[in-house]
Chains A and B, each alone.
Chain A
Amino acid sequence: MSNLNQIQPSDPMSTSLIQIHSLTKSFTKGQNVITPLDNLSLEVSRGEFLALMGPSGSGKTTLLNLIAGIDAASSGKLIIDSQDLGSLSRAQLTKWRSVNVGYIFQLYHLVPILSAYENVELPLLLQSLTRSERRTRVETALELVGLSDRMHHRPNELSGGQEQRVAIARAIVHDPGLLVADEPTGDLDRESAETILDLLRSLSRDLDKTIVMVTHDPRAAAIADRALHLEKGQLVSQLQ
């Protein structure tokens, strides 16, 4: 557990998808400077399933948001698939996100007025695809999460577990290499949580998706290839 802020990938032979060097995120709140992420370095292999654990305020969601490209670091380097995110403008980052990242929220965040099909279709509206191309992709994604028979249901007609599966379908429909999940099982019962974790596991194993998941649940962390523990913005331990 020496120099835990310089943790190397689990398989030194594999190519890293995510390379993080001395990443710091700080902001001012009133008179105080808060540093949720402090000089963190990390590498994540392509196709790896990584779990981030730690108490509230440890910086795991901040790290997740930086990796997802929805927040900007104060200093350090964050390179994903050879792309230095710090060098991208806001518009470029948005474009990059629409192609490379699938985000899974704890509370699903589906658009309530849209059906499961339409929710999953949303990321595809940003790409130059025909209607039939979009249909094929949406149907495939929904089939993958086992919800082909619920595609015309609205979120309020689905259970929590089904909503999260729709959210996963929305995250993978544009075939991004990286999936980030912020406590994806945090709001689910045990049975639904296991279904979601199995799904994430198979996405990593069968489709070679790189997954970074924030979780408080040790059972969820146990199915990941690697689990990192954060405290006060720094990595403190690693489980493999």
Chain B
Amino acid sequence: MLSLALKNIFRYRLRSFLTMAGVAIGMFLFTTVETMQQSLAKVTRSGADDTTLVVFRENRFCPSTSRLPEHYLASIEQVEGVRKAIPIQIAVNNCGASLDVITFRGVPPGSLLEYNSDLEVVDGSAADWTKRSDAALVGQTFAQRRGLRTGDQFEAVGINVYVAGIIKSQEVQDNNVAYVHLPFLQQASKIGLGTVTQFNVKVESAEILDPVAQKIDAIFSSDSHPTVTRPEKAFFAETAKQMIELIGFTRWLGLGAVAAVLALVANAVLLIVRGRLKETAVLQTLGFSRFRIARLITCEGLLLGLLGGALGVGSAVLFLHWQSFTLGNEGLTLAITPSATVLFHGLLVALALGFTASLYPAWRASRQPLVESLNAG
């Protein structure tokens, strides 16, 4: 049955190709939207294993307006429940929403790997980075987007750095930034030594995120530089509200694409049924049951959906992987990264669409009157 369905699909190559191309375009759009939604969920939805707080200057708008004394670190580290803390200076090329945001994070060279133990240097070496003051450890997604390799020199935000290594991390943000030495960035960005943008703080467990945040803010509330401490993901969700709304809207585009694919496949399969009226009647004369006829038509719809879907989903995944789009806002980044889940989901949707779209045509084909169809011109 499958082989007969496949042969039928390739019988009218142009028509099948056009249908599959239409399905592919729709599923490309759907997969892109799904990838955006999922990438957004990854950076904004807090989970039980999220134990990172970010300490900012109160009323900050952009990393450039958040200036905190570096010596706050000692006080933060003493708060009960704090496991590790690290001062970070941030320099970005664009503070608003941007598709190509470049973020430098200046950290004390000796503290980075200790603070972030799941950071893995996949190319180059951490030792080189520690030794050289203008060295950068570049996140994998950032490096891919910019075409950077170990040993390259590059300039951005008026800062010239040497790529000492490429890193990857479970933390999405780490893959989209370049880590440089804190004193180097403080001087290069003209902020001056002793001032940082934020402190990243790891606490003992997710349950104590809020109490620890409150304690930290309480310490500095009367200081000349009061702080606001929040979980990193909650911070992103708040600052990137407009971007999130925009991405939320794209869900409708995804649904539109799905509806278009459904209509396209249904129309194509209906045309197939109409074009094979007599042939179907001949099969019924030979003894093919109504159910078997319906199965044959459904099989063709499924194949059209699956082949077109695989083309669209596959090309979307490859496109997003190679293009490495990154949306940025206020120094935090959202990498539009396709995942296996999106791929699987896309294929499943394509299969379901092919099946749903062919139900009515299959029913029509199986119900056509046999003798009249045989006599049809």
Chain A: residues with CB nearer than 8 A to chain B? 65, 68, 70-71, 90-91, 94-95, 97-99, 103, 105, 109, 111-114, 122-123, 125-126, 170
Nearest chain B residue, comparing its CB with the CB of A108: B282
Task: Flag if B7 contacts A123 (CB, 8 Å).
Answer: no
Binary contact readout B333-375 vs A (1 if CB under 8 angstroms, 0 otherwise): 0000000000000000000000000000000000000110010
Q: Decide: A123 near B287, CB < 8 A? Known: A70-B371, A111-B279.
A: yes
Contact B289 A122 (CB under 8 A): no
- Kindly list chain B residues whose C-beta atoms are within 8 Å of the C-beta of A65: 371
Asked whether B284 lies within 8 Å of A94 as measured between CB atoms, the reply is yes
List chain B residues, Cβ under 8 A from A105.
Answer: 282, 374
Judge whether B286 is part of the interface by a CB distance below 8 angstroms: yes
Given contacts A95-B289, A122-B286, A170-B286, contact A70 B370 (CB under 8 A): yes
Within 8 A of A (CB), among B177-198: none
B131 close to chain A: CB less than 8 A: no
B285 lies within 8 A of A97 (CB): yes
Q: Is the interface of B mostly helix, strand, loop or mixed?
A: helix
What would 27 A/B residue contacts be, using CB atoms closer than 8 Å?
Answer: A65-B371, A68-B285, A70-B284, A70-B370, A71-B370, A71-B371, A94-B284, A94-B288, A94-B290, A95-B289, A97-B285, A97-B286, A97-B287, A103-B286, A105-B374, A111-B279, A111-B283, A112-B11, A113-B10, A113-B11, A114-B7, A122-B286, A123-B286, A125-B1, A126-B286, A126-B287, A126-B292
B7 touches A95 (CB 8 A): no
Instruction: With A70-B371, A71-B371, A113-B7 as known contacts, state yes or no: A95 contacts B285, CB within 8 Å.
Output: no
* Interchain CB contact (< 8 A) of A98 among B11, B287, B374: B287
| Contacting residues, chain B, for A113 (C-beta < 8 A) | 7-8, 10-11
Q: For the complex, is B278 an interface residue (Cβ under 8 Å from A)?
A: yes
| Pairwise interchain contact B286-A98, C-beta atoms closer than 8 A | yes
A147 to chain B, nearest CB (A): 19
A91: which of B8, B10, B289, B370 is its contact (CB, 8 Å)?
A: B289
- Besides the contacts A126-B286, A170-B286, what 17 more A-B pairs have beta carbons closer than 8 Å? A70-B285, A71-B371, A90-B290, A91-B289, A94-B290, A95-B287, A98-B286, A98-B287, A98-B288, A103-B285, A103-B286, A105-B374, A109-B278, A112-B11, A113-B8, A122-B283, A123-B286
A90 to B284, CA, bound (A): 11
* Shortest Cβ distance from residue A29 to the other chain B in the assembled complex, whole angstroms: 12
Contact A109 B282 (CB under 8 A): yes
Task: Please report the C-alpha to C-alpha distance between residue A114 and residue B289 in the assembled complex, in whole angstroms.
Answer: 20
Shortest distance between the CB of B197 and any CB in chain A (Å): 67
Q: How far is the CA of A114 from the CA of B283 in the complex (A)?
A: 13
B283 CB contacts on chain A under 8 angstroms: 111, 122
CB-contact partner of B287 in A71, A90, A99, A114, under 8 A: A99
A98 to B10, alpha carbons, bound, how many Å? 28
Give the docked Cα–Cα distance between A68 and B282 (Å).
13
Q: For residue A64, give the distance in angstroms from its CB to the closest CB of chain B.
A: 11
Within 8 A of A (CB), among B146-191: none
Residue in A71, A113, A122, A126 with the greatest tally of chain B CB atoms within 10 Å: A113
Cα–Cα distance between A71 and B284 once the two chains are bound (Å): 12
Closest chain-A Cβ to B96's Cβ sits at a distance in Å of 58
Complex Cα spacing A172 to B283, Å: 15
Rounded to whole angstroms, the CA-CA distance of A112 and B285 in the bound complex is 17
A113 and B374 CA atoms in complex are apart in Å by 19
| Alpha-carbon separation in the docked complex, A99 to B285 (Å) | 11
Q: Which chain B residue shows the least CB distance to A102?
A: B286
Q: Which residues of B are found within 8 Å of A122, using beta-carbon distances?
A: 283, 286
Q: How far is the CB of B209 from chain A (nearest CB, A)?
A: 64
Given contacts A113-B7, A113-B8, contact A94 B287 (CB under 8 A): yes
Distance, CA A109 to CA B281, complexed state (A):
10
How far is B370's CA from A97's CA once the two chains are assembled, in angstroms?
A: 13
Tell me the bound Cα distance from A97 to B287 in angstroms.
6
CA distance A109 to B280 in the complex (A): 10
Q: Which residues of B contact A98 (CB under 8 A)?
A: 286-288
Per-residue interface assignment for chain B, residues 263 to 280, with 1 indicating a CB less than 8 Å from any chain A CB and 0 otherwise:
000000000000000110
- Which residues from chain A contact B288 at a C-beta distance below 8 Å? 94, 98, 126
Specify which chain B residues have a CB less than 8 angstroms from the CB of A111 in the assembled complex.
279, 282-283
Whether A94 contacts B8 in the complex (CB less than 8 A), given A70-B370, A70-B371, A122-B283, comes out as no
Q: Which residues of A contact B285 (CB under 8 A)?
A: 68, 70, 97, 103
